[in-house]
Amino acid sequence: MRKIYWLWLVCGFSCCTGKVATHNSAAAADSIVHTRTAAMAPKRDTNVTGANSPAPVIQQDMNIDYSGPPTLVYKMKADYHTLVPVMMNEEKTRIVSYPAPGDLTNNGHPATPVSLHGNYWLDNRGIGPQTVFLNITYQDYSALKQAPTLQEMMQLIKEKYPLLEIYSCGNRYQYKDLPDDLNKIIDAGNLKKFKRLL
């Protein structure tokens, strides 16, 4: 009778131990599954603009045609828009390009730049990073019989570094209303999408 009792105890203990081991194995497996699932789950964007916020628009995604006559928009240190622009070398030691008196008109009117928003100007003459302005107006220069000598022009230079920014905004013919279209671009803060020359 005592042997049967001990045999019953041993069998019962083994069965209980098996159930506990099976339960613990299932719990461990379930924990592994949950851990892997959490690791594979996509992470939310928690940047300063808020979770799941849309990505900013890339500025360079605009289709810009740079062929043909360029649209040059620039900003100056001061208002020189009535003064004649000439081109100097990179060292700013000599003038390398200048207009003839008859080159400064457009349909009988002075080819002065057009004022845009934000103190920007639309070029109608041809400027670049090496542009300087002579201390003579379009009107007075156009009235001359011939251009001043290079030495005289050097003495007429108003400012050797007059420009702050220059942007090439593509082909002029791609715009329907050039000043109005450019003002919309400036107001929207999109001018920096274009090629900066200075």
Over residues 9-18, the pLDDT tens digits come to: 444 444 444 4
- Which of 42-56, 87-101, 106-120, 126-140 comes out lowest in average pLDDT? 42-56
Rounded to an integer, the average pLDDT of 78-103 is 96
More confident of the two residues 32 and 135: 135
Residues 79 and 170 in one domain: yes
Q: Look at residue 61 and tell me if it is in a domain.
A: no
Residues 111 and 190 in one domain: yes
Q: Look at residue 62 and tell me if it is in a domain.
A: no
- C-beta of residue 134 within 8 angstroms of C-beta of residue 153: yes
**Confidence at residue 107, expressed as pLDDT on a 0 to 100 scale:** 83
Number of H helices, E strands in the chain: 4, 11
**Confidence at residue 64, expressed as pLDDT on a 0 to 100 scale:** 86
Residues 35 and 102 in one domain: no
Q: Classify the C-alpha dihedral 160-164-168-173 as positive or negative.
A: negative
- C-beta of residue 95 within 8 angstroms of C-beta of residue 45: no
- For 38-90, how does the pLDDT look when each residue is reduced to its tens digit (9 = 90+)? 333 333 333 333 333 333 232 444 678 898 899 999 999 999 999 999 999 99
First to last CA, the chain: 106
- For 161-178, how does the pLDDT look when each residue is reduced to its tens digit (9 = 90+)? 999 999 999 999 999 999
Residues 11 and 80 in one domain: no
Range of the domain at 91: 67-196
Residues 103 and 28 in one domain: no
**Confidence at residue 108, expressed as pLDDT on a 0 to 100 scale:** 82
Q: How many CA atoms lie within 13 A of 33 on its CB side?
A: 6
DSSP 123-141: -SS---TTEEEEEEEHHHH
pTM of the model: 0.67
pLDDT at 183 over 60: yes
**Which among 95, 72, 115, 99 is positioned nearest to 160, based on CA atoms?**
95
Sheet containing 157-159: order of strands: 95-97, 83-88, 131-137, 157-159
Residues 80 and 46 in one domain: no
How many whole angstroms separate alpha carbon 198 and alpha carbon 129?
A: 6
E strands, 58-144, in order: 70-76, 83-88, 95-97, 105-106, 109-110, 114-115, 120-122, 131-137
Residues 98 and 178 in one domain: yes
Q: Look at residue 44 and tell me if it is in a domain.
A: yes
Q: Look at residue 116 and tell me if it is in a domain.
A: yes
**Confidence at residue 165, expressed as pLDDT on a 0 to 100 scale:** 97
Residues in the chain: 198
Residues 73 and 95 in one domain: yes
Domain count, the chain: 2
For 30, the token pair is 């379930």
E strands, 140-191, in order: 157-159, 163-171
pLDDT at 2 over 50: no
Q: Look at residue 60 and tell me if it is in a domain.
A: no
